[in-house]
Amino acid sequence: MAKRTTAAHAAPNDAVPKRNGRLRLFSFANGFDMPFFILLLVVLAVGLVCLFSASFAYSYYRNGGDSYYYIKRQLIYAVIGVLIMIGVSFVDYHVLRRFAVPIMLGSWGLLGLVMLLPEIQNVHRWIRLGPISIQPSEIAKFAIILLFAHLISRNPEKIKSLKNGFLPMLGILGFTAVLILIEPHLSGTILLLMIGLVMLFIGGARLPHLGTIVGIGVVGVLIMVVFLGYEQDRIDVWLDPVGVYTSDVVYESGLTGRDVAWQTVQSLFAIGSGGLMGEGLGNSRQKHSFLPEPQNDFIFAIVCEELGFIGAVLIILLFAALVWRGFVIGMRAPDKFGSMLAIGLIAQIGMQVVFNLAVITNSFPNTGISLPFFSYGGSSLLMLLAQMGVLLSVSRQTKRLAGG
Amino acid sequence: MKRFHQQDVSMRAPSRRMWQRSLAVLTVMIVCFLAVCGKLAALQIAEHAQWQTLASEQQLADSVISDKRGTIYDRNGIVLAQSVEVATVIMMPSEIPNEASRVTICAELPELLQIDAAKLEKQTRKTGSRYEVIKSKIDKTLRAVFIEWVKEKNLTGAFRVIQDYKREYPNGSTLSCVLGFTGTDNTGLEGLEAKYNELLAGKAGRVITTKNGRGDALPNTIQYETTIDAEEGESIYLTIDANVQKIVENHLEVAVAETGAANRACAIVMDVRTDEVLAMATKGDYDLNNPRVLQNPDTAAQIALLSGDERSDALLTALQKQWKNKAISEFYEPGSVFKIFTASAALQEGLVSEKSQFFCNGTYTMAGVRTMKCHVFPRSHGSQSLAEAISHSCNPAFMTIGSLLGTARFPTYHERFGFTSLTGIDMLGEARVTATLYHAASAITAVDVATSSIGQTFKVTPIQMITGVSAVAGDGNLRTPYVVSHSVAADGTKTVLHTPTVRTRVISADTASRMCAMLEGVVDGGGAKNAYVAGYRVAGKTGTSEKTDQPAAENGRKNAVASFCGFAPANNPRIAVIVMIDEPQTYIRYGGTLAAPVAQKIFTDVLPYLGIEPQYTEEEWNSLRTTVPDVTGKTASAASAVLKSVGLSSRLVGSGTVTTQSPAAGTVISKNGMVVLYTDGQPPEQITVPDVTGKTLLEANGLLTDAGLNVSIVGWVNKVDNLNTQRQAVVTAQSIEKLSAVPKGTVIEIRILYQDAIE
């Protein structure tokens, strides 16, 4: 199905790190990577505990005194998701190559469809199917990872060509990004672009090409923000959250400074008042109608308030360990496709975590991005766990290689 | 599975470059994780305190537990101001069980608690709320009724009753300008309530609870609550004697009504040994329980005609004036009362003595440039001793004395008697005499000294005046007056706040006692004789001053201030009294005719109350009074003889043994009085009391004696020629109303006022 370049044939098979003689404690023959699996379950369990703590008060007020509304649903999705993940891990990931193009096309179709559907919370972001709702942008991210892994691994030298490799792929990425941007879904767009660029980077794109495109992007964003005043309110809040919060400013949208800065400031109140040791699990005050939707994007602010700096750092370490283990799987993958797929998937998790933490600590303007395995959202969790299943599938083959 | 690998060219392992670049991505990501941790450290450790503060501001609901404010007592423990327990009713709309209950609440509570129905209706609909104040400060009775209602309707969960306090003044307007009042938050706003607020106020307790973003309390399961108990405030004990205060206020109120004092009147009673204030009154004052009600109907009517800001401004100005303690905060020209200090200074300096002679020809030329008349001009006082000059209140004599003191010594004494500084009384709002209100030592001229010597061209406050007089009446030391003696904390700990404090010695004790003797003469037949109280040796000086710095009124006269300041007993002074009537509207408006009689009434009532026994001089006793002996059981002739031996005449009704006598034995009546003797079976003879009010003393005495009544005179009576020359004395009151029927021989008391007391 693909044309192979001579260069690809000629490439020496010297890139696989030597792993002979290493003991793999948590693995069994043909099994998946046990450390990653356990780390993932721990993160998921901690995430569920935190979700319950963060959501019960909001749920109590919002769902007529039912504090368990969110946790019940999330728990069900988590169980189903883990089962799906294990199931997916048994599937040879190479099968996915066949679906790379269809999934990409399908995600474009869904991105187009979502624009035709009625708005939910003022944006075209979700497709509601009975009890669950799908975010086409989530599928698009996976589609880009899969497609780029497929295209680059099929012909690794082509990416170095600006005209035949880099630009066409950039075009695919850009087109997808625009579809997400018009939803509008700024954080999804940013994440998609970053994932795409990471894929191009590890896939071997020439640094001048990447540098140029990143440069153009940065200059473009600066022009939009600094000279055209795009997202001025978010930028103002980012620069001086408490100042905007207490000011009398009224933005074009009709929102006051207090409205605009509310979420960020409440997040900072939560994090800052947590201190070193925290208020104790369950004892957040900010979740009581101060921090809006504490079960969603800002869940980690409540975690910081309840568990303090120490608890927050421990959880970040867990994420870091998970990301590190994911990279290890990717870097030990038996082939380029598996490697790129695994690294793309784990990089997506890592970037989303960093991005989320940057937003809640106001290190980055508030764009609304969820924290993987923590934030409430059933279909999103299913999607994440299924992708982790793919990663585990890759890990099964590293074992076989290592054994061989 | 194998199938795919074999078909797939990308089965080839990842390249070294891919491995390196993946490691680079991982590294960047780990750096990002570390950076986020750094940011968290900044927020949670470095900036923790400031975020915590900001967060707490919105998270904590602070409800106050009212503290009980301390009580204010008079010197004998009579309550003057106290805090009584009241209750505030809080509704928790979130806990109203159902719509039927809500309807019941809206239907019945407005009437029960006297609240606005529409507002209550709105409050019941705030179903998210747990704190709606629906009525504050209800008393115990209503609270009991309300609690009963809540129980009956089964709504105990939906209401809370919070303890609060309300300030109550049991004596209404008594001492109002001194005590002041509190606001609804129980913070002192005026008077001693404000001055001693810190001491009186307890420490409010607090209940700190967490609340959610909508301002409601958190569900009980996750509620956090801390209680800090309220602390009761300290009680304070005044030097004021409530009974003396009432006496003073009653007499002053009558005087204000009679004289039409347009700018109010005030009086102070002070213990001259300690400078403790026993009474301090301002009339018209206000009702402490309703301080915002204007007491002056004319002012209220004028303000009612205004509208908008003009109205509220005018109302506030009028209220502030009504609340002001005149006795310490308003200036007046002291007039002749000040002659006490001119004389004291000159006596202390040895410039004059009891033997000095002063000549008055009706005028005096000050420093050879300006001529001033004596108040008796065109008559004159002629040659007079120092005591006589004081008694006459002779202007030329005092301007002469002033010139002896000169521009150096006069201002020194003016200052040493305390007229250029605050007295330091422990009250808010004592007015500071600025240098524009008196002649400072640096700029005083001989003419200034002359006018100042007779109490003109400078101003003082009433409290300064009585403090100065108290120094003369006491031992010559100027003391710091005070109204609060000590405080008692809730646990019984007593703290002494003020003790008698000498500021400076002004004159020697000897000079002081010599002045007292001479000042007694002013009351004993001199310009202040209307302040005379039989049995007590009252000393003092009257003063009248025209408000020369103000435009004349419609009748062409300038307003005036009539005042008296004196003390008693003159031989061993105990109390000083100042009475100041500001802008009287009567035709005759001398201190001697308006202020001295008020002081007389105060002395008459207060001196016996303080346990100071009347000591009639032998002369007084022998010439004027006698005690009726018991003559019942004696024969008519024997009885008549006994009465005659003590200087009383008798009149017999019937014959034989005396069975009843009128007046009864033990009554004190004037010499030459008459006792009616009834013999067995004779009914008492009734007579009709004539109207003698407004008559001269001579006429009144004739009318009453002729009718068969015994006369007792309240006021000064010349001992030498008795009633005959007292043509200027007019009866102002009689103890038994005209046209009443009384038995013959009854003693009728008449109060007299000398119209010739023109200083």
Nearest to A4 among B9, B21, B222 (CB): B9
Q: Provide, as residue numbers in chain A, all residues whose Cβ is less than 8 Å from the Cβ of B39.
A: 357-358, 361, 363
Quickly state the pLDDT bin for A12 (edges 50, 70, 90): very low
Considering the domain architecture, whether residues B384 and B466 belong to the same structural domain is answered as: yes
Residues of chain A positioned with their CB less than 8 A from the CB of B41: 309
Bridge partner residues of B268 (DSSP)? B280, B578
- Out of B235, B262, B297, a domain closes at B235
Distance CA B331, CA B41 (A): 67
CATH of the domain at B364: 3.40.710.10
B22, B39, B212 ranked by CB distance to A202: nearest? B22
CB A262, CB A292: distance < 8 Å:
yes
Residue A102 class from Cβ within 10 Å (0-12 exposed, 13-18 middle, 19+ buried)?
exposed
H-run or E-run covering B541: strand B539-546
Percent of chain B with pLDDT over 70: 94
Residues B594 and B664 placed together within one structural domain of the fold: no
**Torsion angle of alpha carbons B586, B590, B593, B599, nearest 10°?**
110
- pLDDT-derived band of residue B65, with 50, 70 and 90 as boundaries? confident
Closest-approach residue (CA) in chain A for B17: A204
Residue spans per domain, chain A: 30-215+321-403
Q: Which residues of A touch B4 (CB under 8 A)?
A: 92, 94-95, 97
Residue B35 sits in the same domain as residue B77: no
pLDDT of residue B205: 82
Distance from CA of B20 to the nearest CA of A (A): 8
For residue range A267-277, list pLDDT tens digits in order: 999 999 999 99
A16 at B interface, C-beta within 8 A? yes
Chain B CA closest to residue A271: B44
Is B546 in the same domain as B588?
Answer: yes
Q: A151, A194, A202, A371: which to substitute to probe chain B, counting the most B Cβ within 10 Å? A: A202
A54 to chain B, any CB pair closer than 8 A? The answer is: no
Residues B465, B398, single domain; the answer is yes
Distance CA B617, CA B531 (A): 17
Contacts of residue B701, defined as CB under 8 A and 6 or more positions apart, other chains included, come to: B711, B723
Hey, are the CB atoms on A273 and B52 less than 8 Å from each other? Answer: yes
Indicate if B15 and B83 belong to the same structural domain: no
Give the residue-averaged pLDDT of A149-163: 90
Q: Which residue of B has its CA nearest to A319?
A: B33
What would the pLDDT profile of B378-434 be if each residue is shown by its tens digit?
A: 888 889 999 999 999 999 999 999 999 999 999 999 999 999 999 999 999 999 988
**A256 in contact with chain B, both atoms CB, cutoff 8 A:** no
Average pLDDT in the A392-401 region? 75
Q: Which of A:111-130 have CB within 8 Å of B?
A: none
Q: Is the pLDDT of residue A189 over 80?
A: yes
Work out the percent of chain A whose per-residue pLDDT is above 70.
Answer: 91
Q: Write out the residue range of the structural domain in which residue B564 sits.
A: 330-609
User: Looking at the partner chain, which of A11, A202, A312 has a beta carbon nearest the beta carbon of B40?
Assistant: A312
Cβ distance B48 to A4 less than 8 Å, yes or no, reads no
Q: Does residue B595 sit in the same domain as residue B623?
A: no
Quick one: average pLDDT of A320-324? 96
The verdict on B70 and B141 lying in the same domain is yes
* Tens of pLDDT, residues B325-363: 999 999 999 999 999 999 999 999 999 999 999 999 888
Looking at residue B758, what is its pLDDT? 67
Residues B382 and B469 in one domain: yes
Whether residue B551 is contained in a domain is answered as yes
Furthest-apart CA pair in chain A: how many Å? 69
**Residue B29 to residue A323, Cβ atoms within 8 A:** yes
pLDDT tier, A8 (very low <50, low <70, confident <90, very high otherwise): very low
CB atoms within 10 A of CB B428: 18
Q: Please give the Cα distance from B599 to B757 (Å, whole number).
A: 14
Q: How far apart are the first and last CA of chain B?
A: 131
Alpha-carbon distances, residue B613 vs A54, B605, B740 (angstroms): 85, 12, 32
Q: Are residues B558 and B651 in the same domain?
A: no
Among B26, B30, B59, B60, the residue to mutate for chain A (most A Cβ within 10 A): B26
Does A349 score more than 60 pLDDT?
A: yes
* pLDDT of amino acid A25: 36
Residue B281 has pLDDT above 90, yes or no: yes
Q: Please tell me the total count of domains within chain B.
A: 4
Residue A7: is its pLDDT beyond 50? no
Residue B385 near residue B343, CB atoms below 8 Å:
no
Q: From the CA atom positions of chain A, what is the Rg in Å?
A: 22
- Find the Cα–Cα–Cα–Cα dihedral A51, A55, A59, A62, rounded to 10°: -130
Mean pLDDT to the nearest integer, B298-315: 88
Inform me whether the C-beta atom of residue A361 falls under 8 Å from chain B C-beta atoms.
yes
CA atoms within 13 A on the CB side of A216: 6
User: With contacts defined as CB-CB under 8 Å, which chain A residues touch B15?
Assistant: 11, 15, 156, 204, 336
Q: Determine the Cα angle at B316 with ends B547 and B182, to 5°.
A: 110
Per-residue pLDDT at B95: 77
Flag if A204 and B55 touch (Cβ within 8 Å): no
Q: Are A309 and B50 a contacting pair at CB < 8 A? A: no
Question: Does residue B6 register a pLDDT over 50?
Answer: no
Nearest-angstrom CA–CA distance, A245 and A233: 11
Mutate: best of A336, A346, A369, A391, partner B, most B CBs <10 A: A336
Write out pLDDT tens, residues B540-562.
999 999 998 888 877 788 899 99
Q: Tell me: pLDDT of A245 over 60.
A: yes
- Return the amino acid letter for A223: I
Cβ contacts from A onto B, under 8 A: 190
A363 touches chain B (CB under 8 A): yes
User: Based on the domain organization, do B444 and B558 belong to the same domain?
Assistant: yes
For residue B8, what pLDDT band results from cuts at 50, 70 and 90? very low
Residues of A in contact with B217 (CB under 8 A): none
Which residues of chain B does A285 touch, with a Cβ-Cβ cutoff of 8 Å? 55, 59, 210
The answer to whether B51 contacts A269, with C-beta atoms less than 8 Å apart, is yes
**What pLDDT, on a 0 to 100 scale, did the predictor assign at position A22?**
44
Average pLDDT over chain B, rounded to an integer: 87
Chain B: give the shortest CA distance to residue A78, in Å: 25
- The model's pLDDT over B191-232, given as tens digits with 9 standing for 90+, comes to 999 999 999 998 888 877 777 776 666 655 555 677 788 889
Instruction: Label residue A24 by pLDDT band (50, 70, 90).
Output: very low
Answer positive or negative: Cα dihedral of B23, B24, B28, B29. Answer: negative
CA distances from A378 to A121, A132, B281, B406, B567 (A): 17, 7, 81, 104, 96
- Which residue does chain A place closest to B52, by CA atoms? A273
* Cα–Cα distance, B460 to B454 (Å, whole number): 13
Q: For residue B104, what is the domain's CATH number?
A: 3.90.1310.10
pLDDT value of residue B222: 56
Check pLDDT > 90 for residue B249.
yes
Using a CB-CB cut-off of 8 Å, the residues of chain A touching B10 are 153-154, 156, 335-337
Question: Which of the listed ranges B30-44, B56-70, B163-177 does the model predict with the highest average pLDDT?
Answer: B30-44
Q: Searching chain B, which residue's CA lies closest to the CA of residue A5?
A: B9
With vertex at residue B664, the alpha carbon angle to CA B661 and CA B665, rounded to the nearest 5 degrees, is: 105
Taking an 8 Å cut-off on Cβ atoms, the answer to whether A272 and B48 are in contact is yes
* Nearest CA distance, A117 vs chain B (angstrom): 34
Inspect the interface and report whether the beta carbons of A95 and B54 lie closer than 8 Å.
no
How close A334 gets to chain B, by Cα (Å)? 5
Angle of helix B48-59 relative to helix A257-274, nearest 10 degrees? 120
Same domain, B467 and B511: yes
Of A13, A272, A333, the CB nearest to B44: A272
> Is A151's Cβ below 8 Å from some Cβ in B?
no
Quick one: average pLDDT of A52-80? 89
Integer Cα distance of B469 and A99 in angstroms = 113
Mean per-residue pLDDT over chain A, rounded = 87
pLDDT score at A402 = 44
CB-nearest partner of B10 from A153, A275, A312: A153
Other CB atoms within 10 Å distance of the CB of residue A122: 7
Which residue carries 């192979």 as its tokens?
Answer: A4
| Residues of chain A contacting residue B218, judged by C-beta atoms under 8 Å apart | 57, 288
Query: Would you state the pLDDT for residue B617?
Result: 66
When CB atoms are compared, the residue of B12, B47, B218 closest to A11 is B12
B514 within some domain: yes
- pLDDT bucket at A26, cuts 50 / 70 / 90: very low
- In chain B, residues with a C-beta closer than 8 Å to the C-beta of A321 are none
Highest-scoring range by mean pLDDT, A138-147, B113-122, B291-300: A138-147
What's the gap in Å between the CA of A112 and the closest CA on chain B?
32
Q: Tell me the shortest Cα–Cα distance from B154 to chain A, in angstroms.
A: 24
Residue B15: the pLDDT is 82
Beta-carbon contacts of B752 under 8 Å, excluding residues fewer than 6 positions away, are B697, B713, B714, B715, B726, B729, B730, B731, B732
Question: Which residue of B10, B212, B219 is in closest CB contact with A154?
Answer: B10
Out of A63-67, A297-301, B642-646, pick the least confident: A63-67
Cα–Cα distance for residue pair B395/B376, rounded to 1 Å: 9
